Amino acid sequence: MNQTVFTGSACAIITPFDSDGKVDYRKLKKQVEFQIENGTDAIVVCGTTGESSVLNTREHRQVIKSVVKYVEKRVPVIAGTGSNSTESAVRRSCSAESVGADALLIVTPYYNKCSQAGLIEHYDYISERTSLPVIVYNVPARTGVDIKPETYKELSKIRNVVATKEANGNISALMKTISLCKDELDIYCGNDDQTAAFMAMGAKGVISVLANIIPNRMHGLASLALGGKTAESVAKQTELLDLANVLFCDVNPIPVKYAMKVMELDSGVYRLPLNDTSEINKRHIRDALRKQKLIN
């Protein structure tokens, strides 16, 4: 059985930028403290929600190093180090390991893409060059690559590939992956709106965008599911469904950063090519926040 990195709800934390477009480490520290004070079980830094694709090499390393420092070993820190260049993913992974990350989140190659055999070689090559646990990230809507259940079976044989963040939305494929891999591969839900369903089938938790604004409630939902209280976790999921969906009314992390701004959670600005969302979307986001009594 592979090493479990965390159970429960991990926040895919945003990267705050100041008005000059620089990383705002003061705000980042506040976000980390907010997460830990409200029960988050792990923090994922430099993922999609953290706008990792617009961080240069120095910033990427410094953001991970800073989060590791702020967390002080209170929860696991999982660093997003994926790339469509295998060598670049290795460099980022080794850098994250050197500054104290506890695990790696490595997205499938995007744009140039690859075959299923190429995926196996990609992850095997990276895993041979780092000692950290690797969580594979499958998000075909962004990458154009979908990991097949049979490929997961082969990936689970790689020394430190221990889990996947699954965001393809395919419940049937997930069931087959679980059947093939059993306890050799942990599953984490990659879509907030499917958390209860994934965990009812045995997933260890969720890597959550929604946790940026309600970490305590996402932790609670996951705890119910882990405790075998499926009906209660589904009820919590249903309560949060509209909010989870509205946070994807535009490209992630645009909606969640706007929601955080409205909630006065110091989210900072975006970096191009991301920009502000429409007034209609802003209204929908505010309405959903009011419904959850998160703003007046």
Q: List the catalytic residues.
A: 137, 165
| 261 token code pair | 């701004």
Can you give 39-106 as a three-state secondary structure string?
CCCEEEECCCCCCHHHCCHHHHHHHHHHHHHHHCCCCCEEEECCCCCHHHHHHHHHHHHHCCCCEEEE
Distance, in Å, from the CA atom of 267 to the CA atom of 198, rounded to the nearest integer, reads: 29
Counting Cα atoms < 13 Å in the Cβ hemisphere of 258 gives 26
**219 and 225 in contact (C-beta within 8 Å)?**
no
Distance, in Å, from the CA atom of 13 to the CA atom of 253, rounded to the nearest integer, reads: 10
| 200 token code pair | 């009812």
Neighbours of 161 (CB within 10 A): 25
The residue type of 107 is V
Among 194, 214, 216, 213, smallest CA distance to 205 is for: 194
Distance, in Å, from the CA atom of 56 to the CA atom of 191, rounded to the nearest integer, reads: 27
Cα angle, residue 138 at apex, residues 135 and 142 outer, rounded to 5° = 130
The helices-and-strands tally (H runs, E runs) of the chain is 12, 8
Backbone dihedral angles phi then psi of residue 105, each to the nearest 5 degrees: -115, 115
